[in-house]
């Protein structure tokens, strides 16, 4: 099993929303950002953008909240949570349980939707021209943070 998570860097995101457009076209068949599994939030107070996507939480509250056990964790090729639409009844309990607010709801189909990491090769990462989105091993994130901290202590910049 490969444990990877989608990381967004607000310092690199320019708000172009190419990630949203690509996702909506591939996953919903329409050029409508509201149907995208990734949402780009504008942070007014600091004039930056933050791409938000399902964190595939280790202790995913959406899994526990689903009364029909329609949400489960799979490990192929990366660990991710997925929705089984054969079991889902559209009750929206998963939406209420998500701490990050990254589960959407398709009113036309009466069912939730969320990022499934495109099976391990996220399209949003491929279309992000600024490099604001990356798929990383969580242990490498800790390494990156330690490296930046060490560089700052020595007066160097990244």
In order of their start, the domains of the chain are: 5-153 (3.30.70.20)
Q: CA dist 8 to 50, 96, 101, 108, 135, Å?
A: 7, 23, 16, 29, 9
For 95-128, the pLDDT digits (tens) are 999 999 999 999 999 999 999 999 889 999 999 9
Nearest to 59 by CA among 97, 86, 96, 91: 97
Q: Which of 18-27, 42-51, 91-100 shows the lowest per-residue confidence on average (mean pLDDT)?
A: 42-51
Q: pTM of the entire structure?
A: 0.81
User: Across residues 54-71, what is the average pLDDT?
Assistant: 94
Average pLDDT (18-31) is: 96
What percent of the chain lies above the pLDDT cut of 90? 65
Extended strands (E) in the chain: 5-8, 39-43, 48-52, 71-75, 79-83, 104-106, 111-113, 133-136
Look at residue 139 in the predicted model and tell me its pLDDT: 73
Residue 65 and residue 57 in contact, taking contact as beta carbons nearer than 8 Å: no
- Give the pLDDT of residue 152: 57
Between 93 and 151, name the one with better pLDDT: 93
Rounded mean pLDDT, 12-19: 96
Mean pLDDT of the chain: 88
**DSSP bridge partners of 115:** none
């Amino acid at each position: 099993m490969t444990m990877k998570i989608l990381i967004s860097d607000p310092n690199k995101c320019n708000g172009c929303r190419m990630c949203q457009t690509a996702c909506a076209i591939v996953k919903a068949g329409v050029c409508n950002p509201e149907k995208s599994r990734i949402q780009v939030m504008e942070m007014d107070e600091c004039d930056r953008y933050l791409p938000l996507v399902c964190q595939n939480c280790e202790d995913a509250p959406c899994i526990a909240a689903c009364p029909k056990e329609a949400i489960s964790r799979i490990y192929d090729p990366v660990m991710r949570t997925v929705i089984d639409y054969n079991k889902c009844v559209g009750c929206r309990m998963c939406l209420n349980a998500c701490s990050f607010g990254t589960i959407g709801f398709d009113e036309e189909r009466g069912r939730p939707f969320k990022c499934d990491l495109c099976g391990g090769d996220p399209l949003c990462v491929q279309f992000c021209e600024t490099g604001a989105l990356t798929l990383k091993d969580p242990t490498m994130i800790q390494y990156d943070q330690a490296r930046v901290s060490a560089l700052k202590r020595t007066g160097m910049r990244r």
